[in-house]
Amino acid sequence: MDKTISINAPLRNDMVRQLKSGDHVEINGVVYAARDAAHKRLIEMLDKGEELPFDIKDQIIYYVGPCPARPGHVIGSAGPTTSGRMDVYTPRLIELGLAGMIGKGLRSDEVVEAMRKFGAVYFGAVGGAGALLSKCIVSEEIAAFPELGPEALRKLVVRNFPAVVIIDSEGRDLYSSGRRRFQHVFAQNRKM
């Protein structure tokens, strides 16, 4: 297995540009948790000319709506949600300086183009492993929109949060390259 890269959030542009599709990372520092409803609110605020509840420049957003914490735990299960649901909002946030996103699943061409143009990276987290991922979250607080419950904007502090760079700032996509490699190997094996 390749070496795991330790990165710190907020994520500066020079680090964003160094990360390559397929890199294994462990994220440390502050990330913000937001799903569809919170993204919609952020865009509504921007449309009204209001300031966002946090400085989005160099930040990472984790697409998660965590379960309530059990006694003695910081947070409940915190697995990634499908990233495509945020795609309608994401290019505008990337243009404002959003450096990274953590989720699962494919991204739209518009999101990938914004990542290339402004410099951002998309990390994949393992779906179905929310209980394990929650152990990497060492603190959690509501940053905005508490009325949204699990979908409120949250400020999380993470330690050694495991992820893989799915799409890098040059638009290289692990899902596409992985599919091509599989098809090539499959075709070679069929010839035998």
> Catalytic annotation on 39?
yes
- The single residue of 24, 39, 73, 184 carrying the catalytic annotation is 39
Question: How would you classify the pairing of strands 153-167 and 137-144?
Answer: antiparallel
Q: Which secondary-structure segment (H or E) carries 161?
A: strand 153-167
Burial class (CB in 10 A: 0-12, 13-18, 19+), 190: exposed
Say if residues 158 and 31 touch (Cβ distance below 8 Å).
Answer: yes
Domain, as residue range, for 13: 4-191
CATH, residue 136: 3.20.130.10
* pLDDT higher than threshold 80 for residue 1: no
What's the domain count of the chain?
1
Computed from CA positions of residues 31, 37, 38, 40, in that sequence, does the dihedral angle turn out positive or negative?
A: positive
Cα(24)–Cα(2) distance, integer angstroms: 7
Q: What is the pLDDT of residues 112-126, one digit of tens each?
A: 999 999 999 999 998
pLDDT digits (tens, 9 = 90+) for 125-179: 987 788 889 999 999 999 999 999 989 999 999 999 999 999 999 999 998 755 5
